Each structure stands twice: as structure tokens, then as C-alpha cells.
Amino acid sequence: MIARANGNHVSITGLGWHVPERVLTNDELAGIVDTSDEWIRDRTGIRQRRIAAPEEAMSDLSLAASRRALEDAGVRGEDIDLVIVATVTPDMMFPATAALVAEQIGATRAAAYDLSAGCTGFMYAIAQAYGMVAGGLVQRALVVGGDILSRILNWSDRSTLVLFGDGAGAVVLERVDEGGFLGFELGADGAGGRELLLPSSGSRKFEDSVPPYLTMNGREVFKFATRVMVSSAEAVLEECGRTVEDVDVYVPHQANVRIIDHAARKLGFPDEKVVVNVDRYGNTSSGSIPLALADAAGDGRLQPGKLVLMTGMGAGLTWGSALIEWTHETNGATA
């Protein structure tokens, strides 16, 4: 699916984030599995990640990020008409984490639901929210992207344990006079679903010997990621009549620094245009891109008029890109 914005100006008007206090370093992981700081850094670029406390759930991370986003937008919870939480680690299958968050922020008249698209969840969610706001169905939407992946990892599996962390980001979307989202490109390839999955987590019965932990074919996912991170970005730029040279800030999914470097090099982005925080947070799935946006806001890169390209990929296998002319004077808070 690829589409240019329909002429209605919808933009991000508030940005918030939250990560757990617990920092887990590579050296600490080396005491759990057969690995080392050097091994992890060389292959992923990650040096540490955040891990949620036992009593923390997805709604807790979402609520903290949402409150920051609402404050940044200068609106109240009751002003929100739609809440979407993009996550693969909800508090529970139902009620939706989004409904819990909506209640806690006072969005008592809002529609609320969760969205599952793996690490691409935030991209899918902002596209849906854009459509609802642009179509006049809602005035303001709150989109949260985040995960507590530490709960679904096999802590004896080095190949996945070193990659992931916990965190969440949130944005408020509403109509603006000019600028805002220019276009989206979204896609999915179910044939590749077996390469990145959480078995025994739904109605599909697996053999008893298959544990309910995140399972990934790293080689195939890497090949997929390096391909779609480039093709999706190119597609949305072409659809919107823009080029790489027009882009001021490139915000890729923070899965692995090798994937980020490959995509940036193939697309032709210089280092100063690329937002990278995977070294501090690891792969936070749906939280990855909004946390990176918070970093870009904190270092002053997200200024009104700047052209921002976001691209994600993840389980499904899914992918998605969005191009936005930034309109918001951010508060400078860094994730």
C-alpha cells in the first residue's frame, strides 16, 4: 500500500517517551549467556538496553509516554478521540492496553484499540491515525508504540537476548494549517512470518516442545530488513515527489546498527542526518521509532519545516515508511 496525503494537513503536535529505570549492560549479559561486550557491539552496535521491573506492564510505560506527549501538545486526555497502542506485548490479550491507557488519561469518549504489526507497529498506527484525523472521524489521536520484549525472550538464547530492550514512545496527531504528513508506504509478506514469531501465543497449537519465546531466523530477517528499509523509503519518496537530498532527518527502525548503516549508505544519507540510539536501548520494537524521534527532538534536529523520513520493519513480516514535514516546536526532552 502506498499513498500520498489527501490534501488535509495532519501532523504530530506532541511527542513523549518513557523507558524503564533498569539498565542492562553487555557485561551483565555476559554473566548470563556465552557472550561479551565486544561480541555484541561488533554485531549489533548495542552496548546497553532498558528492562522493565517485574511490576511494570505495557500500560505503565504507555501511560508515562502518553502524559508527556499530551503535555507537549498542550492538550488534555479528554481532548483525545482515538487511542492506538502498537505493541506485541500488551498487558493481556483483552481488554486492550489502549483502553486501559485511555481510561487513565481521562479520554473517556475515545475509541481505543491495540495494533499488532511487530516492530512496524508504530508506522502502521500513525498511518491509521492519520486517516482517521484527515477523514474527519476524529479531531485528535494519541498513538503509542512500545514493547516489553524482555517478557517474551528466552534468557538462555544468546541470538535474541542481546538484541532487545523495553521502552515506549507516544505522539499526538491533529490537523494543522500547513505541513504535516506527506505520504505513507506499508506492506506485509506473510510468507516470511515463520522467520520471526512468538509460537504458542495464540490459537495455533504448536508441539509441546516449542516454548512460547520470541523465535527469529537472524540471517533471513537481516536480509529482509536490509532490502525493505531501502525499498520502502525509496517508494514513499518517489510517491511524494521528493528525493533523498530533500530529507533533513532520517529515522530508521533501531534493530541493529549494521542494518541502519546499510540502509543509510544505500539511500545516500550522511551520518549527520541519521538518528541512531540502538546503542543505548537495543531494539524496542514498536517503541523504536518514537524513542528515536524523542532523541532527534532533544538534540534540536526536529524543527518546523524539516523533512523527516521514518522507516520500520518487523514481524509479519511487515514494513512501513512515512514522510512528514515537521511542524511542531518540541520541548527538547531527550529520550
User: Residue 310: which of 326, 295, 321 has the closest Cα?
Assistant: 321
Residue 173 is assigned to a structural domain of this protein? yes
| Listed residues 178, 202, 218: the one ending a domain | 178
For residues 285 and 200, membership in a common domain is answered with yes
pLDDT computed for residue 119 by the predictor? 98
Average pLDDT over residues 193-221: 91
For residues 148 and 44, membership in a common domain is answered with yes
Active site residue 119: yes
| Listed residues 129, 158, 178: the one ending a domain | 178
Contact status, residue 112 vs residue 141, Cβ threshold 8 Å: no
* 329 confidence band (pLDDT: 50, 70, 90): confident
Of 18, 253, 262, 328, the active-site residue reads 253
Of 18, 277, 283, 328, the active-site residue reads 283
For residue 1, CA distances in Å to 4, 175, 183 come to 10, 23, 11
For residues 165 and 187, membership in a common domain is answered with no
Average pLDDT over residues 220-234: 98
Task: Inform me whether the pLDDT recorded for 331 exceeds 70.
Answer: no
- Tens digits of residue pLDDT in 73-94: 999 999 999 999 999 999 999 9
Tell me the β-bridge partners of 57.
none
Active site residue 26: no
**184 Cα distance to chain centroid:** 15
pLDDT computed for residue 75 by the predictor? 98
- Tens digits of residue pLDDT in 99-142: 999 999 999 999 999 999 999 999 999 999 999 999 999 999 99
Task: Inform me whether the pLDDT recorded for 334 exceeds 80.
Answer: no
227/207: higher pLDDT: 227
| Listed residues 135, 159, 178: the one ending a domain | 178
For residues 58 and 106, membership in a common domain is answered with yes
Distance CA 332, CA 137 (A): 31
Active site residue 283: yes
> Residue 111's domain is classified under what CATH number?
3.40.47.10
Contact status, residue 163 vs residue 256, Cβ threshold 8 Å: yes
For residues 313 and 209, membership in a common domain is answered with yes
| Whole-number average pLDDT of the chain | 96
Name the residue type at position 292.
A
Residue 43 is part of which domain span? 2-178
For residues 93 and 15, membership in a common domain is answered with yes
Of 119, 240, 256, 262, the active-site residue reads 119
Contact status, residue 170 vs residue 62, Cβ threshold 8 Å: yes
Residue 192 is assigned to a structural domain of this protein? yes
* pTM recorded for the entire structure: 0.97
Task: Inform me whether the pLDDT recorded for 18 exceeds 60.
Answer: yes
